[in-house]
A and B are shown apart, each in its own frame.
Chain A
C-alpha cells in the first residue's frame, strides 16, 4: 500500500484486514442472530439459505469472529489503555458532540469513545462465545443442564443486543467523523485529521519521525 505524500498511516494493512474480517463476521452474526431472536426478522434467515442453515452456520461465524477479535485485541490493546487525558476528554464530550473541538484536551491515538467500543467488545465477544457454546445444540446440547442453557440463552441474547448497540455507536462515529472510514479502508489520514482529532498521537509521531500508526520506540522500549 502506498500512501499519498504528507499523510499519516493510521491503521496498518494487517490491522485493516483483521478489522474487516471481524466486521464481516459481526454483520453476518447480527443478521443470522436477529433472525432467530425475533419472529418479525425470521426472513433474514433466507439470506443464509433458510432456518436450518442459519442455525448451523451462526456458531461457526461466531468462532471466526472470536479468533479475529483476539487479533484486534493484540494489535490495539496498547493504544486502548485508559489514560488520564481520557477523563478530561470525556468531560468535554458536550463540545466534541457538536463538532466544536477547540479547548478539548489533546488525546492519543484513540479517544475515550473508541476505547469504550474496544473494551465493550473485548468483554462481550468472549462472553458471547462462552454462552454461545453452551447453547450450541449440535455439539454441546447435552453438555450442560437445561437450566444452565436457559440462562446462557438469555445472557447471549442480551449481550448480543448490547454488542449491536455498541456497533451502532461505532459505525455512526465512523460516518460522523469524516476521514475515519478511509483510515480503515486505505489506512491513512491527512495530517490535519490527525491534528484535529488525535493531536497527542500526531505530536508523538512527528517527534519520533514515525510514519504511523505508532510512535517509533527506542531501544529502551520507552515511547
Chain B
C-alpha cells in the first residue's frame, strides 16, 4: 500500500536519519477485535478482499472452517477457528480474526534492509511500501506474529495495511465497516482501550474471570488489540503468542552486530594501512636472488639473467 502523505512517518525501515514527522501530534489509532462477540461470519474477510481488491486462488476444503487455511499474499486477514474444551468440560468455539497487529515496535520494520519498504505512520499504522520491497523475507523473521507473506509472483511482501488509505481519508477500515456484530471497532487507541475495559468488566460479571485486553507490552503494545475471554492463555486462540516480542536473535543481528561488523572491517583495513606505513612492503633482496641462483646453478638449472631484473615493481 502506497502512502499519500509523506510527512507523517515516525519510523522508516533501513533509515539512519530522522523521518519527516511534521504531523507527529496525530492521535494513535487502534482496531479492537472483540473475540467474545465474533460470530465467525467472515464478513471482515470478504470486506478486506473487496476493498483491497484481492482475489486468492480457490483452494481446497481441508475439514476445517479456516478458509483459506493460512494468510498469504492475497489473504491479509483470516478467521481462525479453535474448538476449545474449557476446564469444566464445555466446548468453547474461539474465533480469532488473524492479521497484522501493527506493533508499536514493529519487528518487520526493524528487520527490513530496504530503505522505505516498511514505514510506520504517526497514527501507529505499519505499512509496506511495495515498490521499495526487495522480497528478501527479513520481515518474516522480524515479525513475532508470523504475519507477512512473500509473493512468489512479484517477490513482494504483503500484509494488512489497516486500510491506511481509508484511515487517511477518515474512514474506518473495511473489516470494521463490514462487521455485523460490532466485534471489530476502530478509533483512537485510548478510546479503544477504554471501551475494552468496559467489555472486560462485563465479561467478568458473566463468569469469564480471566477476561482481558490483549495489548502485548513486549512489542510496546499493538494497534490491533483483542478482547479475550481467556486473556491468561492467549495461545489457545489458534496460537496467539502469549508474550510476543522481537526475537533476541533478530535484535542482536539488527542491533549490536551492525556497528560491530562495520567497525571490525574498518579496523582490519586501518590495521593493514598502518602496517604498510610502519613496516612497509616485504621485498626480495638481491642476496635472496643470489642464494637462490646459487642453489639452482648447483643443480644445473637455468638462472635468471641478473642484468634483466624481473623483480615486481613497487607501486
Interface contact A42-B299, CB-CB below 8 Å: no
Mark out the residues of chain B between 144 and 160 whose CB falls within 8 Å of any chain A CB in the assembled complex.
Answer: 146, 150, 152, 155
A121 → chain B closest CB, angstroms: 15
The answer to whether A161 and B292 touch across the interface, beta carbons within 8 angstroms, is no
User: Does B272 lie at the interface of the complex (its beta carbon under 8 Å from any beta carbon of A)?
Assistant: yes
CA distance A50 to B264 in the complex (A): 27
Shortest distance in angstroms between B299's beta carbon and chain A's nearest beta carbon? Answer: 5
Q: Cβ of A56: which chain B residues have Cβ within 8 Å of it? A: 135, 155
A157 pairs with B295, CB closer than 8 A: no
Q: B281 touching A138 by the CB < 8 A rule?
A: no
Contact mask B12-33 → A, CB, 8 Å, 1/0? 0011100000000000000000
The docked-state distance in angstroms from the alpha carbon of A151 to that of B132 is 25
Q: B62 at the A/B interface (Cβ < 8 Å)?
A: no
Instruction: State in angstroms the CA–CA spacing of A206 and B275 once bound together.
Output: 34
Q: Are B265 and A195 in contact (CB under 8 A)?
A: no
Known: A37-B113, A38-B258. A191 touches B289 (CB 8 A): yes
Q: Would B292 and A191 count as touching, CB distance under 8 A?
A: yes
**Any B CB within 8 A of the CB of A68:** no
In the complex, what residues of B have CB within 8 A of residue A193's CB? 284, 288
CB distance from B157 to the nearest CB of A (A): 9
Q: How far is the CA of A179 from the CA of B314 in the complex (A)?
A: 9
Q: Which stretch of A20-28, A80-88, A122-130, A168-176 is in the interface? A: A168-176
CB neighbours of B281 from chain A (8 A): 99, 175-178
Measured between C-beta atoms, what is the minimum distance from B18 to chain A in Å? 13
Which residues of B have CB within 8 Å of A151? 249
B312 CB contact (under 8 Å) in A141, A158, A182: A182
Chain B residues with CB under 8 A of A138: 135, 152, 155
Contact of A190 among B276, B279, B284 (CB under 8 A): B284
CB distance from B223 to the nearest CB of A (A): 22
Q: How far is the CB of A124 from chain B (nearest CB, A)?
A: 15
Q: From known contacts A147-B247, A190-B310, infer whether A40 and B136 are also in contact, taking CB-CB under 8 Å.
A: no
Across the interface, name the chain A residue whose C-beta is closest to B309.
A190
Closest partner residue, chain B, to A135 (CB atom):
B137
A133 adjacent to chain B (CB < 8 Å) = no
Q: Which residues of B contact A153 (CB under 8 A)?
A: 138, 141, 249-250, 253
Return B153 CB to nearest CB of chain A, in Å.
11
Contact A161 B285 (CB under 8 A): no
> What's the least CB distance linking B247 to chain A, in Å?
5
Instruction: Known A6-B304, A7-B310, A42-B114; judge A196-B285 contact (CB<8 A).
Output: yes
Please determine whether B140 and A54 come into contact, CB atoms closer than 8 angstroms: no
Report B200 CB to chain A, min CB distance, Å.
31
A209 at the interface (CB under 8 A from B): yes
Chain B residue at minimum C-beta to C-beta distance from A137? B137
CA distance A164 to B302 in the complex (A): 41
Contact A202 B261 (CB under 8 A): no
A52-B135 contact given A161-B264, A168-B268, A178-B312, CB 8 Å threshold = yes
> Which A residues are in CB contact (< 8 Å) with B302?
5-6
Interface centre among B269, B276, B295 (most CB of A within 10 A): B295
**Shortest distance from the beta carbon of A9 to any chain B beta carbon, whole Å:** 13
Known contacts A99-B280, A141-B137, A178-B281; is-contact A42 B115 (Cβ 8 Å): yes
Contacts A6-B302, A192-B284 given; does A141 touch B292 at CB 8 Å: no
Contact between B155 and A52, CB atoms less than 8 A apart: yes
- A47 at interface by CB-CB < 8 Å: no
Contact residues in A for B264 (Cβ distance below 8 Å): 161, 165
Q: Is A168 a contact partner of B269 (Cβ separation < 8 A)?
A: yes
Determine if A105 is an interface residue (Cβ-Cβ < 8 Å): no
Structural contact, A178 and B135, CB atoms closer than 8 A = no
A98 on the B face (CB < 8 A): yes
The distance in angstroms between the C-alpha atoms of A206 and B293, with both chains bound, is 11
Chain A residues within CB distance 8 Å of chain B? 4-7, 35-40, 42, 45, 50-52, 54-56, 97-99, 101, 135, 137-138, 141, 146-147, 149-151, 153-154, 157-158, 161, 164-165, 168-169, 172, 175-179, 181-182, 190-197, 202-203, 206-207, 209
Query: Can you sample 22 A-B contacts with CB below 8 Å?
Result: A6-B301, A6-B302, A35-B113, A36-B134, A40-B262, A99-B279, A137-B137, A137-B150, A154-B250, A161-B265, A168-B268, A175-B272, A177-B282, A179-B311, A190-B289, A191-B289, A191-B303, A196-B284, A197-B282, A206-B295, A206-B296, A209-B299
